[in-house]
Structure 1
Amino acid sequence: MKIFIVEDEKAALNNLKALISEINPKAEIIGESDTVCNTIEWFKGNAMPDLVIMDIHLADGSAFEIFDYVDITCPIIFTTAYDEYALRAFKVSSIDYLLKPINKDELRNAFAKYELLFNGNKTTKDEDDSLIKKIIKEIKKENNYKTHFLIPVKGDKFIPLEVESIMLIYISEGVVKAVDNDNNQYAFSQTLDELTEMLNPKLFFRANRQFLVSKKAIRDVSIWFNGRLVLNLKNKALVDERIIVSKARAADFKEWF
């Protein structure tokens, strides 16, 4: 197995190399890089390795910028000290995601996954390429979720609204409104479907056609008729109506929460 490592922390690099040597002594580290620019240059001038282990936060920017300039078609294991980039796609598609400091058992499991899915199943190059591109697309989407909105008000002003302060988004008489943690309400021009796509699904759950709820707003959950759930909010003044999750979506809610 030929491995290329992208890591800008010397201690983390040395630790990773020691773990690789211990877990897979036959693995060959064919190159190292500590910046976005150097990584791009390396891939433009060298053959594709079997595996890339890539830190997300580099000295000169985000590793995601690399994919705008080079087409990496081999499997990638991402590493980072931050967990906000974790995507379910990593876990279901053979590309793994490891939090620093890297644990030996987790790295061993990542290598085992690589062997199973890319050597054991003998996927074709086209299948590998498609998989990598799908993952990168999801990664970039994760980075682009809205964190702020500018809400127009009467006159010629906009009010900044932080997504973190939003407790609830709902439809009332055909108007989409958001309620913040101070019970202030804001009207949106976007539809609830559009806002659902714009906001991080780890933070907001689409309970039904009328409500999009922040995880922070939920006090507890009641079991209701026919396997449905009722979301009880910490602040009862946020909305007068019951927020009901259907039986079909109850399992999704439990997994999300």
Structure 2
Amino acid sequence: MKVILVEDELAASDNLAYLLTKINPDIEVIEILDTVKATVAYFLKPHEGVLVFMDIHLADGISFEVFDQVEINIPIIFTTAYDQYALKAFKVNSIDYLLKPIDQEELSDALDRFQSQNHNKGIDENQMQSLMHLIQHKSVNFKQTFLVGLGDQLIPVKTADIAYFFIDTGLVKAVTVQERSYVIDDKLEDIEEALDPEVFYRANRQFILRRQAITAIKFHFNSKLLVDVHPVCHEPIVVSKAKASEFKNWVGK
């Protein structure tokens, strides 16, 4: 069985490919795509794939943008940390929805459903009810506190007090509304998955911003955006042209 992965994190795509072949050695990953642009270009041409595993947040935007530009006529299993996208996902040919980190047993069940439903690519009522339950109950589990090192001790920093996270000379730091800075012993990708996406936004590969920390959005060259925050950050915070519209919509909620 030939499958296509749409995933912008190398570690995530490697792990998914490993799990797939572990579950079924006959599964072959024939393509890995990491952007909306690359995905559209790929599906505009003939291919041999029979199933797509698709993350929702890609390097240059949201994967739902793909469906505005090209028709994908094979089933899709979405893989993401953001369960608020579940209902939207099932409007675009999806047969399942897996939350990261992906569990091998759940992945195996999803493949079984693909085998039994590949002639009927929609979602049935039982799946919809399960998704509604997921959305109502899973979203309360976002990270509330980070333990950070301070000298020879660990202190709790409430997520509600953090204005933004950013990478500074290789270190991930959290800056609080009280204008304190702490080193966080997690990758920015892991922090992003632990945060409520209604409150925090991954502006680029270097910054995750809290909505309330944003003080101004300025137009930048090439249709990019330049973001001001409080406490003031001395590094420029640039939102790409591809993410500009989504970012403005998120800020304006």
TM-score in terms of structure 1 length: 0.50
Equivalent position amino acid for 1:141 in 2: K
2:202 alignment partner in structure 1: 206
Aligned mates of 1:180, 1:174 — CA distance in 2: 19
- Give 1:91 deviation, angstroms: 7.8
Equivalent in the alignment of 2:247: 253
Query: C-alpha root-mean-square deviation of aligned residues, in Å?
Result: 2.6
Preserved CA contact (<8 Å) 1:219 1:232? yes
Q: In the superposition, relative to structure 1, how do residues 153 and 127 fare at CA in structure 2: closer, same or farther (>3 Å)?
A: same
| Aligned amino acid, residue 164 of structure 2 | L
Report how far residue 200 of structure 1 moved: 0.5
Residue deviations 1:83-112 (CA, integer Å, cap 9, x gap): xxx956568879xxxxxxxxxxxxxxxxxx
Q: After the TM superposition, list the runs of 4 or more consecutive aligned residues in structure 1 that deviate by more than 3 angstroms.
A: 86-94, 123-126
* Partner deviation per Cα, 1:27-46 (whole Å, 9 max, x = no partner): xxxxxxxxxxxxxxxxxxxx
194-203 vs 130-139, greater mean Cα deviation: 130-139
Amino acid at match of 1:191: K
Match of 2:144 among 128, 143, 147: 147
**CA separation in 2, counterparts of 1:235 and 1:180?**
8
Contact 1:168 1:212 in 2 (8 A): yes
Q: Which residue of structure 2 lines up, in the alignment, with residue 176 of structure 1?
A: 172
Structure 2 residue matching 1:235: 3-state secondary structure: coil
User: What one-letter code is carried by the residue in structure 1 that aligns with 2:224?
Assistant: R
**Which consecutive unaligned segments of at least 5 residues does structure 2 have?**
1-82, 92-119
Unaligned runs of 5+ in 1: 1-85, 95-122
From the superposition, tell whether residues 232 and 172 of structure 1 become closer, same or farther in structure 2 (CA, over 3 Å).
same
Deviations 1:104-157 (A, max 9, x none): xxxxxxxxxxxxxxxxxxx999712222223323333311001112223332x3
2:188 corresponds to which of 188, 192, 201: 192
Quick one: structure 1 residues 126 and 249, their matched pair in 2 at CA, closer, same or farther if it must change by over 3 Å? closer
2:224 matches 1:224: no
Q: Distance in 2 between matches of 1:245 and 1:136?
A: 34
Q: Which amino acid is the alignment partner of residue 199 of structure 2?
A: L
Aligned to 2:46: none
TM-score, reference length from structure 2: 0.50
1:87/1:139 contact within 8 Å kept: no
Q: State the alpha-carbon separation in 2 of the partners of residues 129 and 198 from structure 1.
A: 28
Which structure is larger by alpha-carbon Rg, 1 or 2?
A: 1
The total of aligned residue pairs comes to 141
The one-letter amino acid of 1:133's match is S
Instruction: Give the aligned partner of residue 133 of structure 2.
Output: 136
